[in-house]
Structure 1
């Protein structure tokens, strides 16, 4: 057989991998790769301020809840049940409000296009955990007198 009788293959025909061969990504500098996959990296100096503030509120809510729990144990033994009950309610409410603010700001931060979403995602997670814990604690506090 001579070369003239063989069908001419297009230039891209040899680029398909064999069946079972590992797939290879085109080089990042390749023109088709660059057009199909625009850079998703945020511009230098951009920050997700909603995510950052939400993260701060989430950590603050967590700290308020932990400090209130420790303070409640100390006040039961020293100042009595009335002070401990007030401190428990105040600490739970403050932690719930901080968690709700963290959740809202985290969701807003997740919606920011072109900004990093790591801190906003953590703020959403802390906010959901704090709000769920506050709701469950309130339900238990409301139902507890029915069982005594």
Structure 2
């Protein structure tokens, strides 16, 4: 038991202190914490993995790239070769869709070409079932 010596009672005797002394409890907790830290084994920072053994997959074949340029006057170019019109483009797209691996189509419209012409080319690509399409040079429209 502890005693409170700072405020004497009216009778002249010191009062009994009701608070518990926590200093020994903190000392015991620190000793237990140190014992726990010392007894824990050092953890490894590596993980063992069982990786499969075998041959890696063959390298991916790069797809054929077809560049479709649309000039400002509406002329369509297939890899640099000028086409007669949308009918010639449709026949080229049909033959490209029939290949075993579909080519990538890079459509590059000129800044001055009307939107209807670009939309007609993209509709022709969609009608023929080609799915690997990209609009190239869109930064010129920003």
Note whether the superposition's TM-score is higher than 0.5: no
TM-score (norm 2): 0.30
TM-score (norm 1): 0.30
Higher strand share: 2
Higher helix share: 1
